[in-house]
Amino acid sequence: MKITDMILTDFRTEVCPCIRPLADCEDLSQEEFDGYGNAYFAETDGFLCIFMPYVPHVVAEPRTAFVDSYYWTSQRIYRLKNELISFLKGASFENACYFEGSYKALVFSLGIGRFLRNTLIWIKPFGTFFCMEVIDLQGKGAAELPKTSFGVEDKGCADCGRCSRACLTGALKPDSFDAGRCVRQKQFEKASLDDPLNHLYGNKLLGCNDCQTACPMNAGVTAKATKPSPDYYRMFDLDEFALACCSPGFKSSEYAAVYGVNYAKPMKILGQLLVAMKNDDPSRHVEAVRRCRALGNPNANPILDEWLERFG
């Protein structure tokens, strides 16, 4: 039985409504798609690629932190990948395992992707707004893959320059990309009130879509961008989130479902929240920071004191 038939006939998942061949997804605008929809798969050269598109979050509310829907989606597709590996191992692919090689090389070998100036991969139905996972069906690793280089000649975009003009930090220039200035890269690091770029991060806790939303090749997807649910605003209210981070009973599992375990570290998040409060309007958050301080968390106190000294 072909792998496509096996998945369509026998695989069951609660992670998403259904998983379908990528070839069946000609035009996302034809689908009922709310940002948490179907997953898609494509097989190539002994690898199974899984794609999960999403609609980016637009958070215009003041005093709320921005956490992009990418992070929800990446948690969901990770769970889907593990379910699929278990299913495949139980079928005729007992060596199925994680793939550690270049996802970009696989997208190119499928012949469906373009490499954009903002360093992202674009796929016709999803633009750049999708998460991807890969399963190595034969357990051979990445050595079997053809080498692929990604030079200027591979660039498949219109070269309009809108992405670099939209990038506030100067990470993306017309002819280069400086990862050290990119907000998405900075979010992996410990936040600092002394970071000379931090006034440009706004309320971005996880994710920055400025270069992607400016890109005309994403027009079909960004037209659907919506505000997240009221639950989102409750969860990511700057003051409430900071208080949760300083509390002894911080529910890391609740946030890990969104953030992923690697990101749900309360002191790291607190540092980012304090930067976002400073960028919002510090006077609106002094009371909340004082309440955080009153909780007496020894790990949080130094950065809370520093913030209060400057803005309290």
Instruction: Show the binding pattern over residues 198-217: x = contacts ligand SF4 (CB under 6 A), - = does not.
Output: ----------x-xx--xxxx
Region binding ligand SF4 by CB under 6 A among candidate stretches 15-23, 33-41, 168-176, 265-273: 168-176
Question: Which residue is listed with tokens 């490499």?
Answer: 115
In the numeric block, the tokens 């496509």 are attached to 4
Which C-beta is closer to ligand SF4: that of 23 or that of 160?
A: 160
Residue 239 has phi, psi (to 5 degrees) of: -70, -45
User: Interface mask (CB under 6 A) for ligand SF4, residues 138-157, using x and -?
Assistant: -------------------x
Residue keyed to tokens 């706004």: 202
CA 238 – CA 249 distance, rounded (Å): 18
Q: Considering only residues 161, 220, 260, 312, which one is a binding residue for ligand SF4 as defined by CB under 6 A? A: 161
How many amino acids of this chain bind ligand SF4 (CB under 6 A)? 25
Which of the ranges 8-16, 101-109, 177-185, 242-250 carries the binding residues for ligand SF4, by CB under 6 A? 177-185
When asked if residue 169 is in the footprint of ligand SF4 (CB under 6 A), the reply is yes
Cα–Cα dist 212/214, whole Å: 5
Interaction between residue 159 and ligand SF4 (CB under 6 A)? yes
Q: How far is the CB of 202 from ligand SF4 (least distance, A)?
A: 11
Judged by beta carbon, residue 38 or residue 69, the one nearer ligand SF4 is 69
Cα–Cα distance for residue pair 142/148, rounded to 1 Å: 12
Q: Is 158 in the site for ligand SF4 (CB under 6 A)?
A: yes
Kind and range of the H or E run holding 12: none
Q: How far apart are CA 160 and CA 157, in angstroms?
A: 8
Cβ atoms of 133 and 80 closer than 8 Å: yes
Site string for ligand SF4, 110-139 (x = CB under 6 A): ------xxx---------------------
| One-letter identity of residue 209 | N
Q: Taking contact as CB under 6 A, which single stretch among the options 4-12, 98-106, 182-190, 239-247 is the one that binds ligand SF4?
A: 182-190
Which residue is closest to ligand SF4 by CB?
Answer: 157
**In the complex, what is the shortest distance from the CB of residue 265 to ligand SF4, in angstroms, rounded to a whole number?**
21
Q: Are 99 and 134 in contact (CB under 8 A)?
A: yes
Check residue 45 and give left, alpha or beta (phi > 0: left; psi -120 to 50: alpha): left
Q: Which positions touch ligand SF4 (CB under 6 A)? A: 116-118, 157-163, 166-167, 169, 171-172, 182-184, 208, 210-211, 214-217
